[in-house]
Amino acid sequence: MTELQETVLVTGGSRGIGRAIAETMGARGWQVFLTYVHQQEQAEDVCRRIMSNGGKAEAFALDISDRDGVAAFFKEKIKGRIHLGVLVNNAGLTKDGLLLRMKRNDWDSVLSVNLDGPFACLQEAAKIMIRQKKGRIINISSVVGQSGNPGQANYCAAKAGIIGLTKSAAQELGVRNITVNAVAPGFVSTDMTRDLDSEARKKFLERIPLGRLGEPEDIAETVAWLASDRAAYITGQVIAVNGGLYM
């Protein structure tokens, strides 16, 4: 029987933190499966970069808020086709607004993508990893999931939920040799933070002891470490990568 390729699945892998995770894991020798919703060209560019360095990668369109779509994706693209070594739940979105003015749809869509979607992916991945008797699940939370943030009640609630999901799943799946951890980035230099005006950026920097925004690679290196054998005895933890920022 042919041995299946050891693979990492990165949701939302076309840009920002997801892109850095995909490229870093590819450089570590993992075959990379990454998903995207709208950014097909960017996702394919990530794959090309990984393959140009001798790695293997494929990109797939997947809306993780579609539970039936997630189940079908795992059945058709993952189960029996690869050895799913690591799931990185990274995909997410923001729709900010003060809570008294927040529209129901903005609440629902953010919770659907940022919490329901990761749960659906974790559930499907766990079924496969249990049969493999090994696996790593790494959920991307946020510093604001630990602290809250004005104007982001939906996003903060979802990212706090990710932490609870991580700890509960770690307790259920540990006996199956599956670790479940979360990474909580602080303010990272991505498309969202690049749009900040100079005054807002200055205020953020003043609150960070290291005096700079994080880079996507800072998060990616932490994910790669959690996926490695060196982190085999770590589960149920939230690793803060935030330059010392605590609100």
Tell me the catalytic residues. 155
Burial label for 142, CB within 10 Å (0-12, 13-18, 19+), is buried
Close Cβ partners of 188 (under 8 Å, ≥ 6 residues apart): 16, 17, 213, 214, 215, 216, 218, 219
Is 32 within 8 Å of 8 (Cβ atoms)? yes
